[in-house]
Amino acid sequence: ILCDRMNDRKKFREILKQGVHKDALVGWKRKLPENEDKIPWDGVVDFVCFKPRQMEDIVGHAITKHYIFISSDSIYMACDPQKTEIASMKNGGKLLEEDVYEPEDVREVKKRNRYQYDYGNGKLMCERVLQSSDHFNQYTILRFPDVIGPFDNLGGHLEMQETIARGDPVGLAVDGHDEAKKGAYRLSWVFAPDVVRAIATVICAGERAFRKVLLSPGRCCEGCVFR
């Protein structure tokens, strides 16, 4: 079933409401009787939800046993830079799931990196819609960094290799550092096959992973590890 969720929300909502029904698999146009039971999807993994209104469609219409929202570590680029830097220092250079601090002055944050702010803020607002729902609880949020590896359809992996071959710096410049010095750039990547394993781990965890936000999905439950 093909659907442009951004430009045909009505069709997208109908698909979400059908569930795993034999007629839904044939085509969305046949409307099912209201009294006919709909079978929930075992899982929905959503990589392409970028705006709050798109998440509202999920929360309001999706019939699924487990919804996995692929968020991004770019949400931290939409947070207060001073507060996140302090949190990072306290955590040994790392940011944790709870280290989300909405900025007092959005203009200052946008100056750092307008693209990262817009993308990260969109993902963060999607998280907020999901977390504020009082009835849609069967979700897990995964905050992945940039994905590289097999089946890359955005060119990021090849672009990185070309950048290294040219001898150019790779990553985002760290505020206050001399860009010419080694270590002035932070890198944040995840290997594509590990993304698949992470999603499988969360699905395996089931209810134990509901309403969780995870940077490291292996932490979602004991006895459920990558093999």
pLDDT in tens, the chain (227 residues): 677 888 888 888 888 877 665 554 545 455 555 656 677 888 899 999 999 999 999 999 888 999 999 999 999 989 998 899 899 899 888 889 999 998 888 887 888 777 788 999 999 999 999 999 999 999 999 999 888 888 777 777 778 788 888 888 776 555 544 545 555 556 778 888 899 999 999 999 999 999 999 987 654 445 454 33
Locate tokens 């046949």: which residue?
A: 30
Q: Could you tell me the CA-to-CA distances from 149 to 181, 193, 227 in Å, in that order?
A: 28, 8, 19
> What pLDDT is recorded for position 177?
47
> Using the 8-state DSSP alphabet, how is residue 74 labeled?
G
Q: Which residues contact 120 (CB under 8 A, 6 or more apart)?
A: 72, 74, 75, 76, 77, 78
CA distance 71 to 213: 9
Query: Among 65, 63, 62, 95, which residue's Cα sits nearest to residue 81?
Result: 95
Its pTM stands at 0.81
